[in-house]
Amino acid sequence: MGDKLWLKHAEKIAKLVESKRDDMKALSDEALKEKTDEFKARIKQGESLDAILPEAFAVAREAAFRVNLIMYRLLAALPFMKARSQK
């Protein structure tokens, strides 16, 4: 696949991933985890990896965002926790 063709394909996938952002954001942490089993079942039923790729990327992106947000909050709270423990 040439560079331009690959880039066009990647942009198409990126747009599909982006279109699923609000749906993924609305899922609970538990529902987001359950997507893995859903993807496995869909693949077993014959759905192609290409067909689930945008949704899988959207799930991975949302999960990564949530983990990073938690880490950011924990790191931001460290100085306050340290000051509190020194009182």
**Tens of pLDDT, residues 48-80:** 999 999 999 999 999 999 988 878 777 787 777
Residues 6+ apart with CB under 8 A from 1: 9
| 53 and 43 Cβ atoms separated by less than 8 Å | no
Band of pLDDT at residue 26, cut at 50, 70 and 90:
very high
| 62 and 17 Cβ atoms separated by less than 8 Å | no
Is the pLDDT score of 42 beyond 80? yes
Give Cα 64 distance to the centre of its chain.
5
pLDDT value for 50: 92
- Write out the two tokens for 85: 């423990």
pLDDT value for 69: 80
